[in-house]
Structure 1
Amino acid sequence: MKPDTLLFEIAWEVCNQIGGIFTFIKSKVPTMTDTYGENYYLIGPYIPEKAKLDFRPIRELDYTPLSKAIQHIRDLGFEIHYGYWLLEEARPRVILINPNINIEKLNAAKTTLWEHHEISALKSSELLDQVLGFGEVTRLFLTKLIEELHINQDVIAHYHEWMSAASLPDLSRQQVRLATVFTTHATLLGRYLASNEAGYFSGIPTFNWAQKAEEYGIETEAKIERNVARHAHVLVTNSAWTASECEAFLGRRPDSIVHNGIHRKPGVGHEVFEKHLQNREKIDALIKALFSPSYQLRSDKTLYFFTSGRYEYFNKGFDVTLQAIARLNEALASRQSDINVVLFIITKKPFHNIKPDVLEARQRFQELQRICRKISTKLGPRIYANVTGSAGHKLPDLNQLIDDELQMLWRQALANFKRNGLPPVTTHHLIEKDSITEFCEDAGLNNREENRVKIIYHPDFIERATSLFSMDYLEFARGCHLGIFPSLYEPWGNAAMETVLHGTPVVTSDVSGFGRFAGEAADMAGNNEVKIVKRRQQSTEEAVIQLTEIFMQFVEEFENQQYIPRATLPKSVLDTLCWSELQQRYHENYKLALFRYQPVAGLY
């Protein structure tokens, strides 16, 4: 590759957190900016409520080709923003495009889709219209940019998932001077078929993609995805499972399999345990705030489990997790165990607001802590004066050292803190009930004191600035004891990978890309770091039984040994999961795309 090659990474989850692609892009960006510097840009959709959190616009445009292309798009009447994505470890330049375009221009894009690719978009949806609108503006922007660049300037467009890539086939058809890479992190049909078709994984080659797309009502979307894969110079995916789906559903074998990674290697040894203790204290504080007004949970007798991911009840294994946790609750209660397990469920669902009683409980707990500190500050000097005074070494009567003001403060704080009723299962007011809340109600997982398993359903992403936990997601994962990801469909599995790499043991599945990596490439299956639920050939009931046994074993080991397991992976495994190494694989794919775009030049 030439040193001045421009690289555009295009994804629907740039500045727009929805699921795993956001984590993937965010973790990759620091390495990309280190590698490509000022020649690296991201393109994503402009979603105002998301962009306001971490997007800083550049107000003044200069006379560079990029600025001219942006101004050209604005002159055409489209909304496009240019600025910086404010990430923790990088500030990449980003272009955000409003995917909602006027009906006349949208219909023109649909007409082109039909005339040149024989894909009908008459039966549309809000998301599909946004995908096509975003694709049309992206196509116009890249076309204009390349017109402004010198003819010897190389440009690569790296698309992620079909929603960002509607522009790719027309850029190819119009022979725009551009090398393209398409990474599919999952296939549309895979998401639908895995949870609805018996024997899905063994039957992938036998499915008729067109018939199934029509059956599930995603014909247009599946054809767009297939069309993108066919026109890309290089097709990449993240696991062997998805590679087999590409062949069956997209009609093309991937040129490369590059799994996901992390930016920075986590600490090792005592660092992992110290971070666990620090972050567990923050989780303890929230649990005490929510539960102590009703009854006490001993921190040293409580385990924190969590599951997280996009809200796909069956594909993400939420169904299996809840069934197994309900059985664990019954088993611990029947044994009269004094161990409590708190299961956190972290996903994204529409909600009105955080429940006022949850915010109030946290505020009152913080007030109680403040009063305790105040009492401690006043009491300390009095105890010291008493011991060193005439009373000598005799232990003072603490009641005599507490004056009326402190007693009043303490009684008032306690009266405000106590509450009738059970701790909340859901932290937010959901717009409507879902399968998680319905299961908890039916199974009696309602946070009664006699239940050994408590549930905290947090239907929003965890971010330090906005969440109840006052910490970010990875800090939360470090503070827990076990991450649970027994997915039925998980082409890679960022959540499981990040969790175990930051010291928390995980449960994953044998149909997860990371689960397969852990079991085969890294030989981690069966140890204390990674437990693998067999979902490829087991029934749901068998998977629930296996997961329940894993939970029981985990609790018993903690109960018998009072040991908090931490995951520490060997350096050989860590190295293969870092972007500093994985980026070399993508670099080779970029070179291959450039070669296929202009093979006669012989430069690559």
Structure 2
Amino acid sequence: MAPEFANGVHWSALSPYRVRSGGLRGLGSSPQSIFCVTVDELPRSAVVKGAGKCFFRGSDIPLNKAPRMLAARIDGIRWESQLPVGEPGMMRRRRIERKQAQINGSTFLAESAAPTFAKTSLARLGFTHRPKPEALKSLRRPAFSHFPRSFVIALSFDFSSLTFHTMATTKRDVRNHVLFEVATEVANRVGGIYSVLKSKAQVTTAEYGSAYTLLGPLNRNSAAVEVEELEPKDPAMVATIKSMNERGIKTLYGRWLIDGAPRVLLFDTGTGYYKLDEWKGDLWATAGIPSPADDHETNEAIVFGYLVAWFLGEYVYHEKERAVVAQFHEWLAGVALPLCKKRRIDVTTIFTTHATLLGRYLCAGSVDFYNNLQYFDCDAEAGKRGIYHRYCIERGAAHAADVFTTVSHITAYESEHLLKRKPDGVLPNGLNVKKFSATHEFQNLHQVNKERINDFVRGHFYGHNDFDPDKTLYFFTAGRYEYRNKGVDMFIESLARLNHRLKAAGSDMTVVAFIIMPAQTTSLAVEALKGQAVLKSLHDTVSSIEKNIGKKLFERSLAWHEGQNPPDETGLLTQEDKVLLRRRLFAMKRSNLPPIVTHNMVNDQEDPILNQIRRCQLFNHPTDRVKVVFHPEFLSSGNPVLPMDYDDFVRGTHLGVFSSYYEPWGYTPAECTVMGVPSITTNLSGFGCYMEELIENAQDYGIYIVDRRMKGVDDSVNQLTEFMFNFIGKSRRQRINQRNRTERLSDLLDWKRMGMEYVKARQLALRRAYPTSFEGDEEPGFFDGTEVKISRPLSAPGSPRDRSGMMTPGDFASLQEGREGLSTEDYIAWKLPEEEDVDEYPFPLTLRSKTSSTNGTGTTTPTNGTIGTASNMSSNTSGAAF
């Protein structure tokens, strides 16, 4: 009888037997020989290895003498045990005998019955011969970590008399491996991970083709418009989905309708809730992770995690040729990682944290986070904030993965102290950079979209619109409403100081600062709507008068003869036109100041942004050189006040300001860079650390980095104010040139470059899982010290040039070269052409050179690149982490 597979473990059936000269002889199935035990008393792994052989006591029995079956239905699964066939007439047919066992708070039945069951089971329960009395004295409970806990087995065990074998190590093809990416935002926009997966899909699909599948929970509303349902062609996928469907789990397999069209498999978590209580008990027993009943988000994570572990276990059983790599994003998808580790599912795992739960909560609590990381009692801090169970899931996932990664060096430093594992490397987030056909089309788009913002400003500030649009600059910040984490407190304080400096300097420049962050609102503000209505009314009136004047002037010009005076303005503006125009002008009178916020807030007295604006007295007074507009809603073209999509709005602005205190990566400044808009970020954001480490004099190319790591709060605010003041002092020509240089940095953020770090992470994970497959491997494409290059994008001119050895941004090579033999060679050769307008900026851009760091230094700083050493954790070590 060949071994079967369930929950990531190979099981085999061994019958009770006596060795006699006549061969196997049945022992019967009397109730006295049947009792129930839990899996803690089971051997560590399957006792059958290889086709056609059963091993015990160093001898084997041919499987053609396989015993027939008994069955037990446990956890909704049909488990089958066996009785020996015996000689004709030896087997007694009898009615079913049942025994009960209490496991994880549930009652399960062990059934014995006549050996006439027809269906093939998902698993076999291991049986041995009846132990002798003296053997029972030496019975020991063996080491056990990877068996499912919720099942029942019948008949006694003589563990001391068995030769146990570990799970068979399948020789898998690591070159043509299968890749699964697991996240809760697959075809389901919730946060930044959706952007990561969506923008990266084209590059990953080009590399893997149909061997790449994304796994996520099913959101039927978003899936209806984002996923085209298909029939899977991979036999292993077909068999796995069929097996899960037969047990009540509904899935949706199809094509994600984005660039690259990757395959997705979405699990209907609602169909798995019938096992939620059981899975919660198992999670506690397996990993010591608690789960409160009233946390819906955690319940979803548990159900989704168990479904993913179930899927991976079934899939690797059916897929026996290729290696399987699974990458998990964030703690919500991380429940499956300790399950895969405990069950020893033959899958290579990577866990990527995009931010730590505890870090986000601590930073929002006004603590000196980065200078006290090593002193936090993580368990106590998580418990005080009611997130201990979530923290346990995140930490367990980090320790159970073969390779642990983060999105930036600053987050790696944080993860080492909070999650207690040093990351193996950094996987920076990239973008799917889209170039325009015309070299400087983005400059034209800036002008077009700036004019649309001008229209909004004219309406919003009607009655006090006494500033020149040609001398007005638009600054903005955007993101989730995290007042302190996103640095909004620092931004508003800097605006107040900037306003004072501009007035003191007698500047005629005006800054309109937008804050785009969703908050709780009831409706659009009447004043904001009235401003746009007044503007539209005035625009329509002037357009009508302009049309009439043009028609009259045209007719007069046609009637002109030589010797007559040329047509002039006399009589062009009729009395009716003057009255109508006067009405519109009177409607623009305003006694109050222009509003700060465009919406009616639910509780504006307690809103931290509005309260700080009040403290700083930024009230949009006519004498203020800095005006503030708070738009507490995401931008969309259907908005009646500011009808612009976010991308169009960004293109029309002059400077993005993202003075974040907690920002693991920071897509907003990266998006500004791709669209040619200069931005201000900090060295506490992943993007800021990346650009600061990669580029010398980054601000020459429109990337201003505020030091929030080593400076005090007041010094950081002054530095931000200085950056904005100096930017205002630039000429229009200098700003145009800077936008050109900023846009050229987009190649540094392209997934064609960033994706190399994902490639190296997967190769590192495969090396750890299948070290023998890489011994003596000299073929290119594996990171064994050979040079690997990716092609230069067919893009516009002027990408930065490296003057010395440059590595790809995540530094997997430097982190792992001593242990894994990864390369530290250049991956891209950059070249910068001559600049069309030379001013004070040095050229060409110099990318910082990097030196390889050893793993043994033990030095860990936020930005020094030595994030972690390769940690080959045993299952015992990972188990201790739980």
Question: The TM-score by the shorter chain falls in which range?
Answer: 0.7 to 0.9
Q: 2:703 aligned with 1:530, yes or no?
A: yes
RMSD of equivalent CA atoms: 3.7
The whole-number CA distance in structure 2 between the counterparts of 1:514 and 1:60 is: 38
Whole-angstrom CA distance in 1 between matches of 2:589 and 2:270: 50
Q: Which residue among 346, 349, 365 is the counterpart of 1:180?
A: 349
Shift of 1:70: 5.4
Matches of residues 74-473 of structure 1 in structure 2 within 5 Å? Answer: 80-87=251-258, 89-97=259-267, 105-122=275-292, 125-146=295-316, 149-194=318-363, 196=365, 200-264=369-433, 270-292=440-462, 295-355=465-525, 358-359=528-529, 361-362=531-532, 365-366=535-536, 368-370=538-540, 372-390=542-560, 394-397=566-569, 399-400=571-572, 421-433=592-604, 434-464=607-637, 469-473=642-646
Q: Which residue pairs with 2:691 in the alignment?
A: 518
Higher relative contact order (CA 8 A, sep 6+): 1
Count of residues in Structure 1 that have an aligned counterpart in Structure 2: 598
Conserved in 1, the CA contact under 8 Å of 2:410 and 2:689? Answer: no
Q: Report the CA distance shift for 1:15/1:411 in structure 2 as closer, same or farther (over 3 A).
A: farther
Query: What is the alpha-carbon distance in structure 1 between the residues aligned to residue 512 and residue 575 of structure 2?
Result: 39
Structure 1 stretch displaced more, 290-299 or 178-187? 290-299
Higher mean Cα deviation, 231-240 or 6-15?
6-15
1:29 paired residue among 188, 193, 201: 201
Distance of aligned partners of 1:273 and 1:58 in 2 relative to their CA distance in 1, 3 Å threshold = closer
Query: Compared with structure 1, are the counterparts of its residues 593 and 354 closer, same or farther at alpha carbon in structure 2 (3 Å cutoff)?
Result: farther
State the alpha-carbon separation in 2 of the partners of residues 40 and 190 from structure 1: 32
Question: Which has more radius of gyration?
Answer: 2
| Aligned CA distance change for structure 1 residues 523 and 464 (closer, same or farther; 3 Å) | farther
Aligned equivalents of 2:755, 2:189: Cα separation in 1: 22
Deviation track 1:425-462 (CA, whole Å, cap 9, x = no partner) reads: 22334444421122223333333333322222223333
SS of the equivalent of 2:370 reads helix
Tell me the CA shift for residue 563 of structure 1.
Answer: 5.3
Return the offset for 1:91.
Answer: 4.0
- Give the structure with the larger helix fraction: 1
Q: Which runs of 5+ in 2 are unaligned?
A: 1-172, 783-882
Matched-pair contact (CA < 8 Å) for 2:702–2:742? no
SS in 2 for 1:55: helix
Could you report, residue by residue, the CA deviation over 1:65-110 in whole angstroms, capped at 9, with x for unpaired residues? 54665576666566655555444x4544444456667865333232
CA contact (8 A) 1:386 1:396 kept: no
Identity over aligned residues, as a percent?
Answer: 32
SS across alignment from 1:532: strand
What's the secondary structure of 1:42's corresponding residue? strand
Q: Answer whether contact 1:265 1:574 (CA < 8 A) is retained.
A: no
Q: 1:55 to 1:82 in 2, by over 3 A?
A: farther
Task: Output one character per residue of 1:515-541: Cα deviation in whole Å (capped at 9) or x when no partner.
Answer: 223223211344361222111122222
Counterpart residue type for residue 221 of structure 1: R
Give the distance between the partners of 2:378 and 2:723, measured in 1 at CA. Answer: 37
The 3 A distance-change label for structure 1 pair 411 and 31 is: farther
> In the TM superposition, what whole-angstrom CA distance separates every residue of 1:268-293 from its partner, at most 9, and x where no partner exists?
97444323212212222222232236
- Could you list the per-position Cα deviations for residues 539-563 of structure 1 after superposition, in whole angstroms to 9, with x for gaps in the alignment? 222222222222222233359x895
> SS of 1:483's equivalent?
strand
Q: State the AA in 2 paired with 1:26.
A: K
Counterpart CA distance in 2 for 1:48 and 1:297 is 50
Deviation at 1:114, TM superposition (A): 0.7
Which residue pairs with 2:863 in the alignment?
none
Distance 1:142-1:485 versus aligned 2 partners, 3 A rule:
same
Structure 2 length normalisation: TM-score? Answer: 0.61
Deviates more, 1:314-323 or 1:168-177: 168-177
Q: Of 30, 39, 44, which aligns to 2:211?
A: 39
> What is the CA distance between 1:508 and its match in structure 2?
1.3
User: In the aligned structure 1, how far is the partner of 2:583 from the partner of 2:241?
Assistant: 61
Q: Which runs of 5+ in 1 are unaligned?
A: none
- Determine helix, strand or coil for the equivalent of 1:305: strand
Distance 1:572 1:335, change over 3 A: closer
Q: What is the letter of the counterpart of residue 425 of structure 1?
A: I
For the residues of structure 2 that align with 1:526 and 1:258, how far apart are their CA atoms?
24
**Residues 93 and 281 of structure 1, relative CA distance in 2, 3 Å threshold:** farther
Partner of residue 480, structure 1: 653
Cα distance 1:275–1:60, how it changes in 2: closer, same or farther (>3 A)? closer
Quickly say closer, same or farther: Cα 1:445–1:573, change in 2 above 3 A: closer
User: Cα 1:66–1:354, aligned 2, differ >3 Å: closer, same or farther?
Assistant: farther
- Following the alignment from structure 2 to structure 1, what is the Cα–Cα distance between the partners of residues 633 and 175? 42
Aligned to 2:181, the other structure's residue is in SS state strand
2:268 and 2:405 map into 1 onto residues whose CA distance is 27
Supply the distance in 1 between the matched residues of 2:592 and 2:246 (Cα, whole angstroms). 60
- Asked whether the equivalents of residues 402 and 768 of structure 2 are also in contact (C-alpha less than 8 Å), the reply is yes
CA deviation after TM superposition for structure 1 residue 254, in Å: 2.0
Structure 2 CA distance for partners of 1:545 and 1:584, relative to 1, 3 Å: closer
Is the aligned partner of 1:554 residue 2:727? yes
TM-score normalized by the length of structure 1? 0.86
